[in-house]
Amino acid sequence: MANRINKIETRIYRDGIGIDSEVLEKFSVSTSTTRVMYSAYLSHTQLKERTARLTELGLLEKNKESFSTTKKGRLFVEIYKEIARLYFPETNANSAAVKSLLNTKISAPATQDTEEPQSGRKYRAQLEIDGQILDNLSAKKTRTQAMYNNYLSFAQLRKLDELVDSGLLNKSGEGAKKFYEVTAKGSAFFQLYSKLMVLYNPKSELIEAKRG
């Protein structure tokens, strides 16, 4: 049990999106940039890149000596925490917090020129991969179809079973005829993820597809 929880926590909290959520949460209380840098285990350059992008997105705002988290930034943290909670198999998507967030209308940031920080953004974050998988498996598909549709390596196929363990995907069949399909909990997870992406990456293919 402890090993499974450690795997989930590592997967959630130390990818790029998780680090940005942590930075936003720390700046939501009065604190110095130096304290955030050390508590989030970031270099000066990494924190500078992240705060610049989060400010451009309207999730942070600069003040005289440091930064403070905006209303949108606090909403980002709230959504991210609920997404993280849904990774655990004993949780469900019927909580008042999830229902409230699903009903929250979110507008994309006005900026169109925001660039992602170079540090930690050279590959898809774990959450982005999971979001894409859940989106593509809204209809039942085989393991092979899931692999190719989501650009997964053979090693990354374990993600399908991890999402099954979390209750986000349902698995049926045996052997080569295994099928995967998103659950009601997985659907709620994806809806929260979509809202998060509106705030975090408004130019993503996912958001553009939903707008189209």
**DSSP per-residue codes, 111-172:** -S-----STT-SS--HHHHHHHHHHHTSS-EEHHHHHHHTT--TGGGHHHHHHHHTTSEEEE
Q: What is the pLDDT of residue 144?
A: 87
Q: What is the pLDDT of residue 89?
A: 87
pTM: 0.82
Q: Is-contact 37 43, C-beta < 8 A? A: yes
Is the model's pLDDT at 207 over the cut of 60?
A: no
Distance CA(12)–CA(173), nearest Å, equals: 29
Average pLDDT, the chain: 82
Q: What percent of the chain clears pLDDT 70, i.e. is strictly above it?
A: 80
Tell me the per-residue pLDDT of 86-137, one tens digit each, with 9 for 90 and over.
Answer: 998 888 889 899 999 999 988 766 654 545 544 444 457 788 889 999 999 9
Identify the structural domains of the chain with CATH numbers, from first to last: 2-116 (1.10.10.10)
Q: What is the pLDDT of residue 43?
A: 93
Q: Is-contact 168 185, C-beta < 8 A? A: yes
